[in-house]
Chains A and B, each alone.
Chain A
Amino acid sequence: MKKWLLGTLAAAALVSSAPILAQDDTTLPDFIQHTACEVDLTGSEIPIQHFGDISGSYAFITQPLLAGLTDAAAYYNARGGVCGATLVQENRDTGGDLGQTQAAYDYFSGLENEPDLLVLYASGDAELLRDQLAEDEIPALLSAGSVSGLYGEDGQSPGWIYASNPLYADQFGSFCRYIGANAEQFPEPVVGYISWPGAFGESAFTAEVMSYCAEQGVTILETPEYFPPSATDITTNVQNLVDAGANILYTNSLASGPFLVAKTMVDLGLEDSVQLAGVNWALDTSVGLLSRTALGSDGLPAVNGIIGSLPFHWWSETSLPGIALISEQAAANERPLSAKNIAYLLGWALVDTYIELYARAVNEVGSLDAVDGAVMKDVIEAMDYSPLGLYHFNYDGGALRALPDNRIAVMMFANADMSGVATSGEDAMAVPLADGTTAYVPVLVPLSEFEPAPDLRPGGADVPAS
């Protein structure tokens, strides 16, 4: 019943463009409550400086993030900005090349006005810059979560980078906990790990996760499979895992990664016998849209039914005023369906977070010029805030570097009359796109409530004693 209800809300949110919130163009709605400004910053500019892969493998995620940042900055600037200061964006494309990441960092850190705060997108970038950021005392907000990038190789050395989602290893553990708790649905679960190679793709496959999952009654196959983002065919990789006994495939990839795994499962006729699962990015709108070229035997996109982490509130939850506002603004800015994904939501949350952080920092030190990286770090660690209600920003006084709250959700597709989720391709909502193709509307249905993901860093609180 709950699934159907949420599905209905999701469908409504994705297609509706009607204004939801009555408000004027100069003030913020009541539910957005930033810290009152004690200093007037009118005439100043606060840069949102960010760099990452916006033209390579991650572009499907990062382009909507930029769209979200742009729309949100314009929205807030029109309503007073940060205590009167205007938010401006400055971004650099690294194309996924670590050499370019270093060059971008050198550029920003070498500016006359050294950044108070940076925004990063990728685990590999975080791992590369972890020590440099600490040395230069520049905190960074991140949309990723590898252990070594945030806590160092030993898992116990928090750096200057703060992730907005649980660690990928913790997300995998969270998934195991869910599977273990639903043994009637997933009897004798054996998980095969299949992902992209690299810092992001490999980050969830750790010894700590394996032992935690074993404790939950979930077996993780010892041999993972990795395939490059440019792979043409991964039949052998999938068959290796299934032959080794996997009845669940877990992927720590995004965009075409989960899609290719799902397509291969359909080709091999494994849809009904093997469950597909993944990291929070695997449940993104982009995956659902890409999957329109590969339909399962039920006529729905191959990724229908994929389970994974959903550590944020989603487009479907329009009862939340923050989601309603973002939906309205996305429609007003004529953002296409492909932009209405996780990253667009994060872009809005990030800008809202910036405003709160700077308001608190300026109040604390008395002027914008006096704000530096060290001040900002203190503010980040002391802050307990919910940007637009999307997630809970609380790093536990500096003890944490990744927000722990998580829940498990399933991706489904809206039905034709938007009253729930489709059971087959025949009753699915088919949306004609500008390029002449037809898309199905992905809907994320939460399967559990928010709760802290297990702490599976090396030496983490939830790592079973060996």
Chain B
Amino acid sequence: MLYSAYGREGTYKYLNHFSYAFSLSKGRGEGFFLTTITTVYHNNRRIITYAIYAIGLIALLLLIVPLLGSQRPYRLVQSTVTGVLVGGVYALIALGIVVINKASGVFNFAQGWMMLLGGLVFYTFFSSASSISPLAALVLSILTGLMVITTNSWRALRNPRSLAIAAGIAAFGFIALMIGGDSLKLLRAIIGAVYGAVLTGLTIERFAIRPLIGQPLFAMVLMTLAISELLHGITQMIWGSVEIPLQVFTGLSQLGIPMPFRIQATETLGGTIIIRTELLLAFLLSLLAFAAFVGFFRYTSVGLAMRATAENQKLAQSVGLRVRTILAVAWAIAALLAAVAGVLQGGASSLSLNMPLLALSAFPAVLLGGLESIPGALLGGLIIGLVQEFANLLFPGTQAGTELAPYLVLMVVLVIRPDGLFGQRRIERI
């Protein structure tokens, strides 16, 4: 408050003035003491802040180390494994949020609902072919085709070549989505989820985000909150309020893949380590997505254009970048990532209206890693996963893992690095 009103120097002058006034009213001794404290703090502000946090951390370590020492080795290993794997799910969700932020500077609060929607679309086409509505498949295919060709402008509808592309996309989608037989249902579901995610991402960008280009970022952020409520309503209207077990991983056990992997380490670690196959898959997909996006943003022209757009949309537009297209691509990618996370989480537990709450756990991961950082999303997700698991292990019965520890870590990191571990440092003059 003071800082924003007076600026850095002004704040200190204000504080000194306050302490001086205090000294007049209370006598020279106390006033001198306060002035001295203020001056010392003024001159060593950063060191004092770090020292306070260092003392806090040392105290925490002194508390934690004996607790760690009292644990059996297999529990420590198990918590590490679980933390990393659960962190992979958080990382996938965080990655979607970061992609949008990187392209538009917007923090997407609707990512959790996009996850559920993606999972439900996948489920719809994963079901038996007879239960798939040809009309729904046709509408999904045609709308996706139309949204893709009109990404930059509605005028594409007057272009025969663009219309032909749209017809191709729609025809491919419809045929693929109506493939019969259980043996191909995974392929059908993947194509359905991709079409659904692309349509979701492009629609959100076109009708909710695009009209706000050039407006304050806060308006866009609020818009994402509105979108989350809208998606809530849509999922309920179409699929109802039921909880759906997504049997996407049962095929793995039929292929002879253990569910879960069990590592017998009784002699070495004192127990058995389990690795849940579905979470391992989520983790591997996170790594794959991480590598792909690092390359995308660093080496492709679209990726570089996204970064430029995030810096300044009007400036990017003035140098000839297609801001609309770039934003649309970012939202489509984010929706795809959300769908992947939704399918994996749906398979690990179930598709339910609780799923969007999981995104709340990914929010600290995003802030921890840095809002614009792809590696930060991965690292942030893993750190939050590990912190949660170890808090659950060391402080049983306290809910510290879900309610306290991730936010404590986030607070400490933000104090030391306000832009997150890998975030871009920004200096704004007041």
User: Do A and B actually bind?
Assistant: yes
User: Is the CB of A152 closer than 8 A to any CB of chain B?
Assistant: no
Q: Across the A-B interface, give the 4 residue pairs with the lowest CB-CB distance, nearest first.
A: A436-B128, A59-B241, A223-B397, A230-B357
Least distance between A19 CB and chain B CB atoms (Å): 28
Q: Are B272 and A269 in contact (CB under 8 A)?
A: yes
| CB-defined contacts of A436 to chain B, threshold 8 Å | 126-128, 131, 182, 185
User: Is the CB of A45 closer than 8 A to any CB of chain B?
Assistant: no
| CB-defined contacts of B372 to chain A, threshold 8 Å | none
Q: Are A434 and B127 in contact (CB under 8 A)?
A: yes
Q: Are A233 and B354 in contact (CB under 8 A)?
A: no
| CB-defined contacts of A292 to chain B, threshold 8 Å | 245, 247
Q: Identify B243's interface contact among A59, A226, A231, CB under 8 A.
A: A59
* Complex Cα spacing A139 to B99, Å: 52
| CB-defined contacts of B128 to chain A, threshold 8 Å | 434-436
With A59-B241, A59-B243, A243-B75 in contact, is A225–B355 under 8 Å at CB?
Answer: no
Q: Are A232 and B86 in contact (CB under 8 A)?
A: yes
Q: Are B250 and A232 in contact (CB under 8 A)?
A: no
| CB-defined contacts of A229 to chain B, threshold 8 Å | 352, 354, 357
* Complex Cα spacing A235 to B272, Å: 12
* Complex Cα spacing A236 to B349, Å: 16
Q: Write the residues of chain B forming the contact surface with A, with a CB cutoff of 8 angstroms.
A: 72, 75, 78-79, 82, 85-86, 89, 123, 126-128, 131, 182, 185, 232, 236, 240-247, 249-250, 260, 262, 272, 274, 276, 279, 345, 347-350, 352-358, 360-361, 389, 392-393, 396-397, 399, 401-402
| CB-defined contacts of A260 to chain B, threshold 8 Å | 349
Least distance between B383 CB and chain A CB atoms (Å): 16
Question: In the complex, which of the residues B243, B249, B262 has the most CB atoms of chain A within 10 Å of its own CB atom?
Answer: B243
Least distance between A231 CB and chain B CB atoms (Å): 7
Least distance between A68 CB and chain B CB atoms (Å): 15
Of residues 191 to 241 in A, which have CB atoms within 8 Å of B's CB atoms?
197, 223-233, 235-237, 239-240
| CB-defined contacts of A225 to chain B, threshold 8 Å | 396-397
Q: Are A55 and B353 in contact (CB under 8 A)?
A: yes
* Complex Cα spacing A260 to B354, Å: 14
| CB-defined contacts of A434 to chain B, threshold 8 Å | 127-128, 131
5 contacts between A and B (CB under 8 A): A59-B241, A197-B399, A230-B361, A256-B352, A292-B247
Q: Are A239 and B78 in contact (CB under 8 A)?
A: yes
Q: Are A268 and B274 in contact (CB under 8 A)?
A: yes
Q: Identify A269's interface contact among B85, B262, B393, CB under 8 A.
A: B262
Q: Are A233 and B279 in contact (CB under 8 A)?
A: yes
Q: Are B350 and A256 in contact (CB under 8 A)?
A: yes
Q: Identify B358's interface contact among A59, A232, A239, CB under 8 A.
A: A232
| CB-defined contacts of B345 to chain A, threshold 8 Å | 232
Question: In the complex, which of the residues A255, A434, A436 has the most CB atoms of chain B within 10 Å of its own CB atom?
Answer: A436
* Complex Cα spacing A180 to B351, Å: 38
User: Is the CB of A437 closer than 8 A to any CB of chain B?
Assistant: yes
With A236-B393, A267-B274 in contact, is A59–B89 under 8 Å at CB?
Answer: no
| CB-defined contacts of B232 to chain A, threshold 8 Å | 55
| CB-defined contacts of B79 to chain A, threshold 8 Å | 236
With A232-B358, A233-B86 in contact, is A63–B399 under 8 Å at CB?
Answer: no
Q: Identify B396's interface contact among A55, A59, A60, A223, CB under 8 A.
A: A223
Q: Identify B348's interface contact among A223, A232, A435, CB under 8 A.
A: A232
A-B contact count (CB 8 A): 133
Q: Are B399 and A226 in contact (CB under 8 A)?
A: yes
Least distance between B184 CB and chain A CB atoms (Å): 12
Least distance between B407 CB and chain A CB atoms (Å): 14
* Complex Cα spacing A25 to B392, Å: 58
Using an 8 Å CB-CB cutoff, how does the interface string of A250-291 with B read, 1 for contact, 0 for none? 000001100110000001110000000000000000100111
Question: In the complex, which of the residues B246, B348, B361, B396 has the most CB atoms of chain A within 10 Å of its own CB atom?
Answer: B396
Q: Are B274 and A56 in contact (CB under 8 A)?
A: no
Least distance between B73 CB and chain A CB atoms (Å): 13
* Complex Cα spacing A54 to B243, Å: 12
Least distance between B351 CB and chain A CB atoms (Å): 10
| CB-defined contacts of A235 to chain B, threshold 8 Å | 78, 82, 274, 276
With A55-B241, A435-B127 in contact, is A232–B349 under 8 Å at CB?
Answer: yes
Least distance between A253 CB and chain B CB atoms (Å): 12
* Complex Cα spacing A231 to B82, Å: 12
| CB-defined contacts of B182 to chain A, threshold 8 Å | 436
| CB-defined contacts of A62 to chain B, threshold 8 Å | 241
With A226-B399, A269-B262 in contact, is A286–B243 under 8 Å at CB?
Answer: yes
* Complex Cα spacing A229 to B356, Å: 11
Least distance between A194 CB and chain B CB atoms (Å): 10
| CB-defined contacts of B236 to chain A, threshold 8 Å | 55
User: Is the CB of A293 closer than 8 A to any CB of chain B?
Assistant: yes
Q: Are B86 and A435 in contact (CB under 8 A)?
A: no
Q: Are A60 and B123 in contact (CB under 8 A)?
A: no
Of residues 39 to 77 in A, which have CB atoms within 8 Å of B's CB atoms?
54-57, 59-60, 62-63
With A224-B397, A269-B262 in contact, is A290–B242 under 8 Å at CB?
Answer: no
User: Is the CB of A338 closer than 8 A to any CB of chain B?
Assistant: yes
| CB-defined contacts of A243 to chain B, threshold 8 Å | 72, 75
Least distance between A96 CB and chain B CB atoms (Å): 9
| CB-defined contacts of B185 to chain A, threshold 8 Å | 436
Q: Are B242 and A59 in contact (CB under 8 A)?
A: yes
Q: Are B353 and A293 in contact (CB under 8 A)?
A: no
Q: Are B241 and A63 in contact (CB under 8 A)?
A: yes
With A233-B276, A236-B82, A240-B396 in contact, is A228–B357 under 8 Å at CB?
Answer: yes
| CB-defined contacts of B358 to chain A, threshold 8 Å | 230, 232
Question: In the complex, which of the residues A235, A236, A243, A269 has the most CB atoms of chain B within 10 Å of its own CB atom?
Answer: A236
| CB-defined contacts of B262 to chain A, threshold 8 Å | 269
Q: Identify A230's interface contact among B82, B279, B354, CB under 8 A.
A: B354
With A223-B396, A267-B274, A290-B350 in contact, is A236–B389 under 8 Å at CB?
Answer: yes
* Complex Cα spacing A226 to B361, Å: 16
| CB-defined contacts of A230 to chain B, threshold 8 Å | 354-358, 360-361
| CB-defined contacts of A244 to chain B, threshold 8 Å | 396
* Complex Cα spacing A244 to B79, Å: 16
| CB-defined contacts of A223 to chain B, threshold 8 Å | 396-397
Q: Are B402 and A256 in contact (CB under 8 A)?
A: no
* Complex Cα spacing A237 to B243, Å: 23
* Complex Cα spacing A227 to B126, Å: 29
* Complex Cα spacing A290 to B243, Å: 8
In the complex, which residue of chain A has the Cβ closest to the Cβ of B358? A230
In the complex, which residue of chain A has the Cβ closest to the Cβ of B88? A232
* Complex Cα spacing A55 to B240, Å: 8
Q: Are A437 and B241 in contact (CB under 8 A)?
A: no
| CB-defined contacts of B240 to chain A, threshold 8 Å | 63
Q: A233-B85, A293-B249, A437-B247 are in contact. List 13 more A-B contacts (CB 8 A).
A: A59-B241, A62-B241, A230-B356, A232-B279, A233-B82, A233-B279, A233-B348, A235-B78, A237-B392, A255-B352, A260-B349, A292-B245, A434-B128
With A256-B243, A436-B127 in contact, is A232–B399 under 8 Å at CB?
Answer: no
Of residues 14 to 32 in A, which have CB atoms within 8 Å of B's CB atoms?
none
Least distance between A132 CB and chain B CB atoms (Å): 27
With A225-B396, A235-B274, A292-B245 in contact, is A256–B357 under 8 Å at CB?
Answer: no
Q: Identify B131's interface contact among A63, A269, A435, CB under 8 A.
A: A435
Q: Are A56 and B354 in contact (CB under 8 A)?
A: yes
| CB-defined contacts of A63 to chain B, threshold 8 Å | 240-242
Using an 8 Å CB-CB cutoff, how does the interface string of A409-439 with B read, 1 for contact, 0 for none? 0000000000000000000000000111100
* Complex Cα spacing A229 to B352, Å: 10
In the complex, which residue of chain B has the Cβ closest to the Cβ of A255? B243
